[in-house]
Amino acid sequence: MKYPIRLTELELQQKALQMRRDIVEMTCAAGSGHPGGSLSAVDMLVVLYNEFLKHDTEDTEWEERDRMIFCKCHITPAIYSILARVGYFDPKMLLTFRKLGSELQGHPSRFSPRGIEMSGGSLGQNLSIATGVALGLKHQGKPNRVFAMTSEGDLQEGQSWEAIMSAAHYKLDNLCALVDYNKLQIDGNVEDVMGVHPLDEKFKSFNWNVLIIDGHNFDQIRQALKKALTLKGRPTAIIAHTIKGKGVSFMENQAGWHGKAPSKEEMEKALAELQLKN
């Protein structure tokens, strides 16, 4: 199937709920994984993969496809869920997450499953790769766009800022960074560990366009992505204020759920909150 397509508000809500259910079930089944940051990224991924990213689930080498580069690569529960739910592989595979012999490793590999553009794991590296891909496409005169989902953890790495500086220098208006700004990391509050505030002023000082949104508001996500497609002459950063653990009450804004899997009882409690609407 080729994307983008247009979804109703109810369809977006349903798909986001399903992804959150996937994330909880996958991490519980694996007994490991990163639910907190996966849950905070869901709403942006639902809008991006369905309504903006040009891709074909039947042809992963489609020349006209946009490139999606994940920089916060520990959110594989969200990555695999969105890939399965748009049609790259059977959603039944999701429960094999992190199991011996499964294609669904703890960090993404570009060799499997289908739909992953770049391997990753170490923070700070993949924004550089996204910049290089955008530069290559620009040199070839191709209209394809590059989207990169990053986080505060990535932006604590010096290499990220070298990439940000380079992207502006080469006027890569085909590059859009989505910052999942949930303000928590494994050791606690980002500003206590290694502060990145004010992100908007930092990106602006590096000569990027900056859009600030609520990362759980579908309309704001849609409008920001739409605007990013029209801005010329410089790259765009969409700084999305999000909630770590979004959608599961006992996980929300709790750093402890960065890399902790729910127990069976916790999973059942979470799924009761994430009821699909009729």
Question: Is a pLDDT exceeding 80 seen at residue 278?
Answer: no
- What is the three-class DSSP state of 235? coil
Instruction: Enumerate domains of the chain plus CATH numbers.
Output: 8-273 (3.40.50.970)
Q: How far apart are CA 51 and CA 128, in angstroms?
A: 25
**Per-residue pLDDT, 73:** 94
Q: What is the mean pLDDT of the chain?
A: 96
Q: What is the pLDDT of residues 190-246, one digit of tens each?
A: 999 999 999 999 999 999 999 999 999 999 999 999 999 999 999 999 999 999 999
Average pLDDT over residues 167-184: 98
> Residue 147: pLDDT band by 50, 70, 90 thresholds?
very high
Average pLDDT over residues 254-269: 97
Q: Where are the beta strands (DSSP E) in 144-218?
A: 146-151, 175-181, 184-185, 188-189, 209-214
Q: What is the pLDDT of residues 14-72, one digit of tens each?
A: 999 999 999 999 999 999 999 999 999 999 999 999 999 999 999 999 999 999 999 99
**Per-residue pLDDT, 243:** 98
**Per-residue pLDDT, 192:** 95
pTM, rounded to two decimals: 0.97
Q: How far apart are CA 101 and CA 277, in angstroms?
A: 35
**Per-residue pLDDT, 218:** 98
Q: How far apart are CA 85 and CA 46, in angstroms?
A: 9
Lowest mean pLDDT among 42-46, 114-118, 268-272, 273-277: 273-277
Q: What is the pLDDT of residues 65-98, one digit of tens each?
A: 999 999 999 999 999 999 999 999 999 999 999 9
Here the tokens at position 271 are 């799924």
Q: How far is CA 63 from CA 8, 71, 146, in A?
A: 29, 23, 13
Residue with tokens 């804004």: 253
Residue with tokens 């505060």: 152
Average pLDDT over residues 126-132: 97
CB atoms closer than 10 angstroms to residue 81: 27
**Per-residue pLDDT, 122:** 85
Here the tokens at position 203 are 């990106």
Q: Where are the beta strands (DSSP E) in the chain?
A: 2-3, 55-56, 67-70, 146-151, 175-181, 184-185, 188-189, 209-214, 236-241
**Per-residue pLDDT, 124:** 86
Here the tokens at position 263 are 């127990």
